[in-house]
A and B are shown apart, each in its own frame.
Chain A
């Protein structure tokens, strides 16, 4: 519990009657300085070679541990900024003029990092190989854990719209990834046509499905699934979750007196 710094005017007046004027001034100043030092914001800093993200907050109002978790939701924070996030959450973002957007998305099936022991055979990670399917399962499992983490994240009510947006979108996108893997395992094109929530791929992604059906080789068929079908499904998901709720994030910052600052070194 952080020390509180509350004192009332009557207390000061009583002290003033007891003490000489100069000493009173000294006392008031000492109290003020002590209080201001207690209220100095806590600062978290995340640095990479060319980025710096700083968030300042009062630890008496929101704990440092909780702030460390919540910064992952910030519209300013992406993987490029080097802010640690739970495995399985991948941040994507765009800026179009003054309009900023951000989403958390599942790891892609083909993610394979040689230095990560959970993956194998990254140099030959084609969708036809056994190791690809194993690696894809690693990615899906991590993404499921990421979604679970997101859903169980303790957060202030102000962030309800942000969490609803991020988790709802993530869950649908995870289903898209799961379907893609089911197709890779079975080559059954009907998997790609199955309805998903309000999305009817048979109609909304008919062009991609035609391209897959008429693909001259397995290579081009799998490629069309990874790009055309996948992009089309994401577009359909986007229609349900069109925009990060920036206003809700701003309300949260204001309600808790939080200040965040993100800088990127610009090209030289």
Chain B
């Protein structure tokens, strides 16, 4: 099974560069081979150093990544970390896609900060030709129980502002099962914003449009689900075949979040 991973290259001055790549997980994930980067260049073989934290270190001689396009000739093969995506089982399946022709760009459990090992506890989702104003739909029936509107765009680069008190617009839907779904970087439709909460919505109904409020470097929606105070993984009816298609993984999200 091919999985998207982040590969870390260390430069001669000690700084790091992260770039998306695609790994093949064999067996019980004891071995991950990075077979290609986004350009299809062959890469290194890595093995997990710590299966509990889902972090793996690249092993082998440095020359294995000499064809890394983001690295110079003096690249030192990283002893840094690579994230292995989704490991937390999905606890819920939504019946409706939040965007037309949607696909997940950054999955739940994807390592988003290689220094801290912090994992994504949401799914970033994009759609074909996504842009500001693209319609967003309720992924299931329920009630809009909260929304925030009018937050500005944070101009800092996404890696700097992510999780750093950079509030974004969102729409929150509570389902009959009590699960709370939030769709961030989404402006609620003005017709809905004028209605009193809770607003009953049906799955598939348009509830808003994509915006770039808060910390985001490219249009997408950050979707998270909370049950009893815990953020949980979930499944959406999106086409995720790109996980088997090196080169397409980061196309729409520009490799950022």
Q: Which residues of A contact B (CB under 8 A)?
A: 47-50, 78-80, 82, 90-98, 103, 105, 108, 110-114, 122, 125, 223, 226-227, 230-231, 234-235, 237-238, 263-268
Contact = CB atoms under 8 A, between A and B. Distances in A.
Interface of B: 112, 118, 120-122, 143, 145-150, 162-168, 172, 174, 176-178, 180, 182, 184-185, 193, 195-202, 214-216, 222, 224, 226, 229-231, 257
A111 to B, nearest CB: 5
Contacts, number: 118
A157 B143 CA distance: 33
B214 A267 contact: yes
Contacts of B230: 48-49
Given A125-B176, A268-B122, A268-B257, 17 more contacts: A49-B229, A80-B172, A80-B226, A95-B150, A108-B176, A108-B200, A112-B176, A223-B202, A234-B198, A235-B195, A267-B122, A267-B166, A267-B168, A267-B184, A267-B214, A267-B215, A267-B216
Nearest to B146: A93
A29 to B, nearest CB: 38
B231 A95 contact: no
A92 B168 CA distance: 18
Contacts of A237: 196
Contact of B176 (A47, A105, A111): A111
A145 to B, nearest CB: 18
Contact of A234 (B165, B176, B196, B257): B196
Residue of A48, A113, A227, A266 most packed against chain B (CB within 10 A): A266
A226 B200 CA distance: 7
Contact of B147 (A94, A98, A110, A223): A94
A207 to B, nearest CB: 14
B130 to A, nearest CB: 16
14 contacts: A48-B230, A79-B180, A93-B197, A94-B147, A95-B150, A111-B176, A125-B176, A223-B202, A227-B201, A231-B199, A235-B195, A266-B163, A268-B215, A268-B222
A80 B177 contact: no
Given A92-B146, A94-B147, A231-B200, A79 B176 contact: no
A198 to B, nearest CB: 16
Contact of B180 (A80, A94, A267): A80
Given A79-B174, A108-B176, A94 B197 contact: yes
B200 A230 contact: yes
B150 A97 contact: yes
B35 to A, nearest CB: 28
A171 to B, nearest CB: 15
Nearest to B229: A48
B167 A266 contact: yes
Contacts of A78: 145-146
B112 A268 contact: yes
A227 B122 CA distance: 29
Contacts of B120: 268
Contacts of A265: 163
B171 to A, nearest CB: 10
A47 B230 CA distance: 10
Contact of B163 (A47, A79, A268): A268
A266 B176 contact: no
Contacts of B162: 267-268
A264 B122 CA distance: 15
A79 B215 contact: no
Contact of B177 (A90, A95, A97, A122): A122
A223 B164 CA distance: 41
Residue of A49, A50, A267 most packed against chain B (CB within 10 A): A267
A105 B150 CA distance: 25
Contact of A105 (B184, B198, B202, B214): B198
Nearest to B164: A266
Contact of A264 (B118, B167, B196, B198): B167
5 pairs of A and B residues whose beta carbons are closest in the complex? A48-B229, A238-B196, A92-B197, A268-B162, A268-B163
A95 B164 contact: no
B220 to A, nearest CB: 10
Contact of A48 (B193, B215, B226): B226
A250 B122 CA distance: 34
B219 to A, nearest CB: 13
Contacts of A223: 202
A113 B177 contact: yes
